[in-house]
A = this chain, B = another copy of it.
Amino acid sequence: MVVGISILLDFSGVVDERFHCDQVWRDLIGRLIQMGGMKMLHLASHQFSSVKQKELADERNLQTGGTTAFALLSESHISVHTWPEFKKVVIDIFTCGPTIRLDDMIEYLREHIPHENLVVTRFERGE
């Protein structure tokens, strides 16, 4: 018996530094949740280095960390992890609500995040 769906989105070639910034992701997760018809229970994020720190690091040719964000939902969760040094953004959407508009959420992310490649993997959970 399926209790939920995991959507794993793996973006490559994400050079726009906004998508490695936690505040941008806090806003974007809020929009996704609204779009998906979900209810937020809790939102947390962590910036491994600020955009300003990244600029300084770039000047010195150093690697910097990305951002990580997580929303706990009535309908399960959304997580985001980014690696600016590898131009990667990895998003998980786990839903257990039958009416969630998952396709709209995936299309919104695909169109909204400039990237070179996107791999979407879908898993039925609990079987």
Contact = CB atoms under 8 A, between A and B. Distances in A.
Given A83-B3, A94-B92, A119 B123 contact: no
Given A46-B72, A77-B79, A121 B119 contact: no
A4 interface: yes
Contacts of A46: 41-42, 72
A56 B92 CA distance: 35
A12 B1 CA distance: 9
Interface residues of A, number: 32
B72 A72 contact: no
A94 B90 CA distance: 10
B3 A125 contact: no
